[in-house]
Amino acid sequence: MASKKKISKFELLKQEAFKLWEEIIMTKYGNICYGCGEKATIVHHFVPRHKSAKLWFDVENGIPLCNKCHFALHRKYDPYLPIEIALKKGGVDYLDSLKKKMYPPVKNINIKWLKKEFSKLKSEAKELGIFAKVKSAH
């Protein structure tokens, strides 16, 4: 019998934070795909997670997309899609603001940092009226 792998408190909180981040973005942008205008089904990080932990939970770094556009974006079928998305989000000002937020990089990605980020997300969720759906055990 295979043993169940225990998930750390850090990983559980990170999963919960990403779910809340996605819910905030879908609520804020009305579940509309930034690529084609259809119903969004997924939230994409404009600046990839591996490029900046500082932007993991930044709502401005989240883009609602449908599966088709998300697939096209990752597979680079449409080289203009990232440009179109950036323009819809605010153009050069949007890109500059993300770039500025990336630095200085996060030095310690630990539970303390994650709790602080989750707290920011909960405040944003509360402003959008979705706080009631959020677990507050952390």
What does the DSSP assignment read for 52-121?
A: -GGGTT-GGGEEEE-HHHHHHHHHTS-TTHHHHHHHHHTHHHHHHHHHHHT-SPPS--SHHHHHHHHHHH
Instruction: Provide, rounded to the nearest whole percent, the portion of the chain with pLDDT above 70.
Output: 92
Domain holding 32, by residue range, is 11-123
Is 66 within a domain?
A: yes
Residue 108 lies in a domain: yes
Q: How many domains does the chain have?
A: 1
Q: Does residue 109 register a pLDDT over 70?
A: yes
| pTM of the predicted structure, to 2 decimals | 0.86
**Is 134 a domain residue?**
no
Q: Is 116 contained in some domain?
A: yes
Evaluate if residue 83 carries a pLDDT over 90.
no
Q: Is residue 1 part of a domain?
A: no
Model pLDDT, residue 136 = 47
pLDDT in tens, 11-30: 999 999 999 999 999 999 99
Residues pairing with 45 in the sheet: 62
| Predicted confidence (pLDDT) per residue in 29-61, tens digit | 999 999 999 999 999 999 999 999 999 999 999
Flag whether 129 is in a domain: no
CB atoms under 10 Å from CB of 49, counted, come to: 11
